[in-house]
Amino acid sequence: MEKPVSVDPVGSRQIIATSKKAENMGLSVVTGTQRRHQRDYLETYRQVASGAIGEITSAKAWWLQSHVWFRTREEGWTDMEYMLRNWNNFCWLCGDHILDTHVHNIDIINWFVGKQPESAIGFGGRVRRLTGDQYDFFSIDFEFGNGVFSHSMSRQIDGCANTLGELVMGTDGYTNCKNTIFNPDGTVKWQYDYPKNRDGKSTGMVEVSPYVQEHIDLVTAIRTKKPVVEAERTAISTLTAIMGRTAAYTGQKVTWEDMLNSTERLGPEKYDMGDVTMDFPVPLPGTQHKA
pLDDT for res 290: 58
pLDDT for res 287: 82
Answer for the pair 210, 38: CB distance below 8 angstroms, yes or no. yes
Q: Any residues with CB less than 8 A from the CB of 72 and at least 6 apart, and which?
A: 130, 131
Least confident of 128-132, 209-213, 234-238, 271-275: 128-132
Q: If we measure between CA atoms, which residue out of 67, 90, 86, 89 comes closest to residue 78?
A: 86
pLDDT for res 130: 85
Answer for the pair 113, 144: CB distance below 8 angstroms, yes or no. yes
108-130, pLDDT tens digit by residue?
999 999 999 999 999 999 999 88
17-35, pLDDT tens digit by residue?
999 999 999 999 999 999 9
pLDDT for res 279: 86
Rounded Cα–Cα distance for residues 127 and 125 (Å): 7
**In the predicted model, what is the mean pLDDT of residues 154-158?**
97
Rounded Cα–Cα distance for residues 157 and 159 (Å): 7
pLDDT for res 20: 97
Sign of CA dihedral 249, 250, 252, 254: negative
Answer for the pair 93, 7: CB distance below 8 angstroms, yes or no. yes
Band of pLDDT at residue 80, cut at 50, 70 and 90: very high
Answer for the pair 194, 185: CB distance below 8 angstroms, yes or no. no
**What SS3 class is residue 10?**
helix
**In the predicted model, what is the mean pLDDT of residues 261-288?**
91
Rounded Cα–Cα distance for residues 11 and 24 (Å): 20
Band of pLDDT at residue 253, cut at 50, 70 and 90: very high
Q: Which of 36-45, 269-278, 279-288 has the highest mean pLDDT?
A: 36-45
Band of pLDDT at residue 278, cut at 50, 70 and 90: confident
Q: Is the pLDDT of residue 289 over 70?
A: no
Average pLDDT, the chain: 96
Rounded to 5°, angle at Cα 64 from 190 and 232: 70
Q: Is the pLDDT of residue 267 over 80?
A: yes
Cis peptide, bond prior to residue 4, ω within 30 of zero? yes
Band of pLDDT at residue 291, cut at 50, 70 and 90: low
Sign of CA dihedral 86, 89, 90, 96: positive
Q: Is the pLDDT of residue 5 over 70?
A: yes
Domains and CATH numbers, the chain: 9-261 (3.30.360.10)
Neighbours of 176 (CB within 10 A): 15
